[in-house]
A and B are shown apart, each in its own frame.
Chain A
Amino acid sequence: MTALIEFTDVGRMFEADPPVHALRGVTLRIDRGEYVAVTGPSGSGKSTLLGLLGLLDRPTSGTYRFAGAETTTLAERDRAALRAGSFGFVFQAFHLLPYRSTEENVMLAEVYRPKGRPAPPRRGRRERALAALERVGLGHRAGFRPDRLSGGERQRVAIARALLGDPDLLLCDEPTGNLDGENTQVVLDVLEELNGQGLTLLVITHDEAVAERAGRRIRIADGRVVAGGPEPVDNPSPVDHQFAGDRPQWP
């Protein structure tokens, strides 16, 4: 297995009074093709971790190698290129543009392209977006406005958008946080299927049922990894690293 993500002793401190250490000393490795769930109590630093992983934010300490290349020294423009070319994002709030149809929302993923690579032709973008909607089982919802869709359908549109850029890694922050049980199952089925096709997945969740579907579970608390890190286990089936009592930092 080749390492996609290598975090070494990463910390993220926010300037405040007193300073907030949202993450500290996080060492983590995620391989290609993994399906990782990140759990932890509210305020433990999960979203902060996702921001760092997706190059939406910079760590204040430590190093982050993505696909073998150091990212912490990259200029903002190159980080933007990596975001456009290598990451797909799915958020709890969907972040769909209300004034655009479903396939137009998906097509947005091809608007900003990395300079170095040949950009996919503008012609055919709609067809590619429709194909991405098919992949998440929403071919029949093309042309709909997001406000006419159910929550689960909206999140699948967001997943289709994340897929259009053909990312190396799909980062999901509470993808089922706004969904009921039935919609959650549909979204999780889609994610599992994508992972089956070889896509590397990292899902942040509060929900143990969601975390159980992942191949590896990382638990963080108070800005530290308390279980599941730093290395992938040899057998990437759901393992129970449940808090072995080694870090009794939460009740």
Chain B
Amino acid sequence: MAMIEKGVPPSRFGRAVARRSGTGTRISRSDLVDESLSAVLARPMRAALTALGTVLGIATLVVTIGIAATAGNRIVGRFDELTATAVSITPETTRASPDDPPLIGWDAPERITRLNGAVAAVALAESQPGQTPPVQANDIKDPSAVTARTLGVVAATVDLPATVHGRVVAGRFYDAGNVARRDRVAVLGEEAARLLGVTRLEDGPAVFIGGEPFTVVGVIGDLKREQALAASVIVPPTAAADRLGMRQVTRVVVDTRLGAAQLIARQAPTALAPGHTDGLRVLAPPNLERARGAVEDDVNGMFLVLGLLCLVVGAVGIANVTLVGVMQRIGEIGLRRALGASRRHIAAQFLVESAVLGLLGGVVGATAGMVTVVGVCVAKDWTPVLDLGLVFAAPLAGVAVGLLAGAYPAWRAARLEPLEALRAT
């Protein structure tokens, strides 16, 4: 009588022979997917609830990564966009003789706006402290009248409102025609207008700058940068040169696109004064990238951890439900074994089932995340940056979560002895 130990492993040789001759049973891939899918879809509500944790985890990750990619520079923009987009260029040395051609000409705005990343630029000639011509509302020398001792006089090209993000609150800003005709016109800063008592423009009030009359055509206010101009009288460069002797550009202010300030700062000198770049001093905002990066990394890190935590919770949920499913379906497992399923086939079925749940969570989570990112972008008027890699990686991450979660239940299911499993009802 031969004694056969239960579960004696066949010899290595025997196993190798069995492999080579292709014995055992097989299940086609489509059958495996069919069997697993129909088991999951048999209880759609349970499947949905099971996948919920994964949905939340994947959605959190997609939103965090998506917003980080989209927002990038925008976060800083909220607080100091105006600083981050301003570049100013000053000729460092005054020329040896006033007859030498100036370093920067009045065509500076055209030269600058040709650069990629520059939005607007204005060339200014500012009166030197102590040499400011007196400004008066009328030519009567009345000592009691308000004379604007503090008012500055500035010659500026017509691009000034656009560059300083100012608003013309009354009248208009002088135009290229005024400049070409060398008209004696002036635009008052809001504060200057108040100090000079200019309230109405209908009857063409005049101001006297260094005794020369200029017609006030507009008032500018709400200056977002170069706020000192609010207390200044702004005149076209031609009239300033003719009447006030202000000929040389003392400063060029550039409004750049967000993130382009460093680039403009590097290129502007060459654009303005090719060959004489040494004579120019450039003022650019500090490079905030690094400091901002650190702060963002902290915030993003927190959300990433939160998302990963959600994924772990999701995985535990899938593992739990799949394990309960294994226990409820012991009879089914026994039947499948009786029909010829191997342990491997049983394990594969439960693995695919949990992978399907993970995939479901991944797809729904990625979709919810994308919708959120797009929604935030629409609300904030940002351009959404949807990384295609992220779109495909998210469902794959869901599948990985599902496989990981299904490993233990699948192992438990495969370990069952067919007869024991059939006995359980």
Within 8 A of A (CB), among B1-46: 1-7, 10, 14-15, 18, 21-28, 30-31, 35, 38-39, 42-43
Q: Is A232 an interface residue when CB atoms closer than 8 A count as contact? A: no
CB neighbours of A59 from chain B (8 A): 4
Q: Assess the A75–B10 pair: CB atoms within 8 A.
A: yes
CB neighbours of A140 from chain B (8 A): none
- Per-position binary interface string of chain B over residues 389-425, scored 1 when its CB falls under 8 Å from any chain A CB and 0 otherwise: 0000000000000000000000000000111001101
Task: Give the shortest distance, in Å, between A87 (CB) and chain B (any CB).
Answer: 8
Q: Assess the A111–B31 pair: CB atoms within 8 A.
A: yes
A63 interface neighbour in B2, B7, B26, Cβ under 8 Å: B2
CB neighbours of A80 from chain B (8 A): 24-25, 337, 340-342
Q: Assess the A77–B25 pair: CB atoms within 8 A.
A: yes
Q: A83-B340, A93-B331 are in contact. Are A115 and B3 (CB under 8 A)?
A: no
The CA of A76 and the CA of B422, in the complex, are separated in Å by 17
CB neighbours of A56 from chain B (8 A): 337-338, 418-419, 422
Q: Is A84 an interface residue when CB atoms closer than 8 A count as contact? A: yes
Q: Assess the B28–A57 pair: CB atoms within 8 A.
A: no
The CA of A165 and the CA of B418, in the complex, are separated in Å by 19
Within 8 A of B (CB), among A54-84: 54, 56-63, 72-73, 75-78, 80-81, 83-84
Within 8 A of B (CB), among A213-247: none
- Per-position binary interface string of chain B over residues 324-354, scored 1 when its CB falls under 8 Å from any chain A CB and 0 otherwise: 0000000110111111111101000000000
Q: Assess the B339–A60 pair: CB atoms within 8 A.
A: no
Task: Give the shortest distance, in Å, between A40 (CB) and chain B (any CB).
Answer: 17
Task: Give the shortest distance, in Å, between A137 (CB) and chain B (any CB).
Answer: 22
Q: Assess the B3–A60 pair: CB atoms within 8 A.
A: yes
Task: Give the shortest distance, in Å, between A8 (CB) and chain B (any CB).
Answer: 8
Within 8 A of B (CB), among A12-65: 47, 51, 54, 56-63
The CA of A76 and the CA of B10, in the complex, are separated in Å by 9
The CA of A224 and the CA of B43, in the complex, are separated in Å by 46
CB neighbours of B423 from chain A (8 A): 47
Q: Is A139 an interface residue when CB atoms closer than 8 A count as contact? A: no
Task: Give the shortest distance, in Å, between B413 (CB) and chain A (any CB).
Answer: 15
Q: Assess the A77–B24 pair: CB atoms within 8 A.
A: yes
A112 interface neighbour in B18, B331, B332, B341, Cβ under 8 Å: B341
A84 interface neighbour in B2, B18, B39, B340, Cβ under 8 Å: B340
Residue of B at shortest CB range from A11? B1
The CA of A111 and the CA of B33, in the complex, are separated in Å by 11
Q: Assess the A111–B334 pair: CB atoms within 8 A.
A: no
Q: Is A149 an interface residue when CB atoms closer than 8 A count as contact? A: no
Task: Give the shortest distance, in Å, between A56 (CB) and chain B (any CB).
Answer: 4
CB neighbours of A97 from chain B (8 A): 332
The CA of A75 and the CA of B15, in the complex, are separated in Å by 8
Q: A60-B3, A77-B24 are in contact. Are A112 and B336 (CB under 8 A)?
A: yes
CB neighbours of B28 from chain A (8 A): 119, 122
Q: A56-B419, A112-B340, A122-B31 are in contact. Are A95 and B3 (CB under 8 A)?
A: no
Residue of A at shortest CB range from B9? A75
Q: Is A210 an interface residue when CB atoms closer than 8 A count as contact? A: no
Q: Is A85 an interface residue when CB atoms closer than 8 A count as contact? A: yes
Which of B2, B30, B43 has the most chain A CB atoms inside 10 A of its CB? B2
Q: Is A142 an interface residue when CB atoms closer than 8 A count as contact? A: no
Within 8 A of A (CB), among B123-154: none
Q: Assess the B339–A57 pair: CB atoms within 8 A.
A: no
CB neighbours of B331 from chain A (8 A): 93, 95
The CA of A72 and the CA of B2, in the complex, are separated in Å by 9
A61 interface neighbour in B3, B22, B23, B336, Cβ under 8 Å: B3
The CA of A91 and the CA of B338, in the complex, are separated in Å by 11
Within 8 A of B (CB), among A82-102: 83-85, 87, 89, 91, 93, 95, 97, 99-100
CB neighbours of A203 from chain B (8 A): none
A78 interface neighbour in B18, B27, B422, B425, Cβ under 8 Å: B18
Task: Give the shortest distance, in Å, between B142 (CB) and chain A (any CB).
Answer: 100
Task: Give the shortest distance, in Å, between B339 (CB) and chain A (any CB).
Answer: 5
Within 8 A of B (CB), among A192-216: none
Q: Assess the A115–B14 pair: CB atoms within 8 A.
A: no
Q: Is A251 an interface residue when CB atoms closer than 8 A count as contact? A: no
The CA of A91 and the CA of B334, in the complex, are separated in Å by 11
Task: Give the shortest distance, in Å, between B352 (CB) and chain A (any CB).
Answer: 13
The CA of A92 and the CA of B88, in the complex, are separated in Å by 91
Q: Is A187 an interface residue when CB atoms closer than 8 A count as contact? A: no
CB neighbours of B26 from chain A (8 A): 112-113, 115, 119
Q: Is A9 an interface residue when CB atoms closer than 8 A count as contact? A: yes
Residue of A at shortest CB range from B30? A122
- Per-position binary interface string of chain A over residues 103-134, scored 1 when its CB falls under 8 Å from any chain B CB and 0 otherwise: 01000110111111001001000000000000
Q: Assess the A93–B425 pair: CB atoms within 8 A.
A: yes
Q: Assess the B337–A111 pair: CB atoms within 8 A.
A: no
The CA of A80 and the CA of B341, in the complex, are separated in Å by 7
Q: A62-B2, A72-B2, A75-B10 are in contact. Are A81 and B340 (CB under 8 A)?
A: yes
Extra inter-chain contacts (13) besides given A78-B24, A85-B340, A114-B340, CB under 8 Å: A47-B423, A56-B418, A57-B418, A77-B18, A77-B23, A81-B24, A84-B25, A108-B336, A111-B341, A113-B25, A115-B24, A116-B21, A122-B28
Q: List 17 A-B contacts (CB under 8 A).
A: A51-B419, A56-B418, A59-B4, A60-B4, A63-B2, A75-B23, A81-B23, A83-B340, A84-B340, A89-B335, A108-B335, A112-B340, A112-B345, A115-B24, A116-B22, A119-B28, A165-B340
Nearest 7 pairs of A and B residues by beta carbon: A84-B340, A99-B42, A77-B24, A112-B340, A95-B335, A51-B419, A75-B10
Q: Which residues of A contact B (CB under 8 A)?
A: 9, 47, 51, 54, 56-63, 72-73, 75-78, 80-81, 83-85, 87, 89, 91, 93, 95, 97, 99-100, 104, 108-109, 111-116, 119, 122, 165
